[in-house]
Chain A
């Protein structure tokens, strides 16, 4: 039997928008197994990103439970959540948000420095990861010297730096053209084949189709998958 790496039970998330309460998630129950590649799809405002944020421990549910890697994360303090994200979660966003003054290699080393890995180890792993994403020859380039696709690949390498149990991606191809987006889709498939558990939120049909499992959401609920 496969091991569940993400487990959500009857998760609700409400926001106060002015005087109104928005029910972003309305009782979501979901499991993601180790080694899975899940695409969450649905119309804008259906709660996809909110669900991803809860799995990534950058948001807390209003009610229900969230466990990642067999650890309950829904009640974590800010300090615990920060440390948990550092060691267990890899994030990739639509915008790459690389540090403009750091080289590609230094950007990848950043989470490892935060995790206090020895410098030599950081250097070696950053080089290894950049070679894995096809940027072995672009290590010393700054983000401004890289194309959008290359920047996103650096962001993916950065997300993998501390060996996370799961890689979360929010519209990773949203700012890329079709050709460059296809390279990222291909990279995600390779990562998954190599054992990385991936959950991706997307409007991109090609990216969603590349996943092993597709979850449809509507009005804060999982409707299919």
Chain B
């Protein structure tokens, strides 16, 4: 449990950081006061913003992304999902698993959920709309697109049905007021450049956007998910305390059973410090043995809990709540060894300090 809690307290943050950095985009621009895709708000003037950003030599890649809801008729059903409008040459939202990317205006790539729900295959043509009126069952902004690829969306939730097309295609399908807009810009900075400085520069130059670096994104996630960290710290402390009490009890019982043996050790000239050392080593050995057994059990439990927590609606599939890191395992082991030492010291010192003659007399009577 201690390992799980150490993994939980650091796992989300590390997993989120890895996710954000997975395609090398260090900055994200969202409409002022929002987080990426947190609301339906969009940033107007994509071309103008792109021109401004290109003035900064520290920005090496600009990827505007448009997000929209889509509707696809499948027989007499309406299948809804989300679509991203991207530039395939600089996109960082998905990985192509099979087929081709959206190299033409009538191409679309989709994830497995979408393929399954539509019952279609690569190469099939589908009608995709950006609007749907359920009362009249009429579609608007409709366009026929060929499914050219099967993809995995990096930031997608497990239950999400998603697709991606060229940004100009999605713009053409959308209402005129949504043209030349983006939900998000993703930026890569030049190697060696300070991302925080670039972020400050962007916010100065573009007052209608919020620039989010990896550090600020993690800080925001930390603030939103502080409940998990607090829970992890509390449960970790409880499990450590229970472990401490357990080892203390085991060592105390063992020491009491061997009071005569310890008294004889002292009688034949073994120093108090060596007696304490031996008993503390036993406490540490119990802790380490428990840690080794607990490591396997903790990893299995973490995997199970991670599956449950990762299925929370709206969370990116790639986020791990319990991320195994050697550092977490070493931290848990270090804490257990420290608690083993702490748990052994008192009973050991007490046993080694008992009057030898008195202990032997009691043993003889017993």
Which residues of chain A have a CB within 8 Å of any CB of chain B? 49-50, 53, 56, 58-59, 78-79, 82-83, 85-87, 89-91, 93-95, 97, 99, 110-111, 114-115, 158-159, 162, 170
List 17 contacting pairs A-B, 8 Å CB cutoff, sorted by A: A49-B360, A49-B361, A56-B267, A58-B266, A58-B357, A58-B360, A59-B357, A79-B271, A82-B269, A85-B269, A86-B269, A91-B264, A94-B364, A97-B264, A97-B265, A158-B268, A159-B268
Q: Counting CB contacts under 8 A, is B272 at the interface?
A: yes
Minimum CB distance partner of B270 in chain A: A114
Q: Are B269 and A111 in contact (CB under 8 A)?
A: yes
Q: Counting CB contacts under 8 A, is B95 at the interface?
A: no
Chain B residue contacts of A82, Cβ below 8 A: 266, 269-272
Contact A115-B269, Cβ < 8 Å, known A49-B361, A53-B357? yes
Instruction: Pick from A49, A59, A78, A86: contact of B268, CB below 8 A.
Output: A86
Q: Are A85 and B357 in contact (CB under 8 A)?
A: no
Chain A residue contacts of B274, Cβ below 8 A: 114
Chain B residue contacts of A97, Cβ below 8 A: 260-261, 264-265
Least distance between A157 CB and chain B CB atoms (Å): 12
Instruction: Pick from B268, B361, B364: contact of A85, CB below 8 A.
Output: B268
State in angstroms the CA–CA spacing of A79 and B364 once bound together. Answer: 25
- For B250-265 the 0/1 string (1 means CB < 8 A from A) is 0000000000110011
State in angstroms the CA–CA spacing of A170 and B264 once bound together. Answer: 12
State in angstroms the CA–CA spacing of A76 and B56 once bound together. Answer: 82
Chain B residue contacts of A50, Cβ below 8 A: 357
Contact A91-B268, Cβ < 8 Å, known A97-B260, A97-B261? yes
Chain B residue contacts of A87, Cβ below 8 A: 269
Least distance between B285 CB and chain A CB atoms (Å): 12
A58-B267, A95-B364, A159-B268 known; 15 new pairs, CB 8 Å cut-off, are A49-B360, A49-B361, A53-B356, A58-B357, A59-B356, A82-B269, A82-B272, A83-B269, A85-B269, A99-B261, A111-B268, A114-B268, A114-B269, A158-B268, A162-B269
Least distance between A107 CB and chain B CB atoms (Å): 10
Q: 9 tightest CB-CB pairs across the interface, nearest first?
A: A86-B269, A97-B264, A59-B357, A58-B356, A53-B357, A85-B269, A91-B267, A58-B357, A97-B261
Chain B residue contacts of A49, Cβ below 8 A: 357, 360-361, 364
Minimum CB distance partner of A86 in chain B: B269
Q: Are B271 and A114 in contact (CB under 8 A)?
A: yes
Least distance between B253 CB and chain A CB atoms (Å): 16
Least distance between A199 CB and chain B CB atoms (Å): 14
Minimum CB distance partner of A155 in chain B: B264
State in angstroms the CA–CA spacing of A56 and B364 once bound together. Answer: 17
Chain A residue contacts of B57, Cβ below 8 A: none
Minimum CB distance partner of B355 in chain A: A59
Least distance between A94 CB and chain B CB atoms (Å): 7
Least distance between B272 CB and chain A CB atoms (Å): 7
Q: Are A78 and B272 in contact (CB under 8 A)?
A: yes
Chain A residue contacts of B266, Cβ below 8 A: 58, 82
Least distance between A185 CB and chain B CB atoms (Å): 21
Contact A93-B270, Cβ < 8 Å, known A50-B357, A58-B357, A59-B357? no
Instruction: Pick from B270, B272, B363: contact of A95, CB below 8 A.
Output: B363
State in angstroms the CA–CA spacing of A53 and B358 once bound together. Answer: 10
Chain A residue contacts of B271, Cβ below 8 A: 79, 82-83, 114
The residues in B between 24 and 47 inclusive whose CB is less than 8 angstroms from any CB of A are none
Chain B residue contacts of A110, Cβ below 8 A: 268, 270
State in angstroms the CA–CA spacing of A122 and B260 once bound together. Answer: 25
Least distance between B122 CB and chain A CB atoms (Å): 67
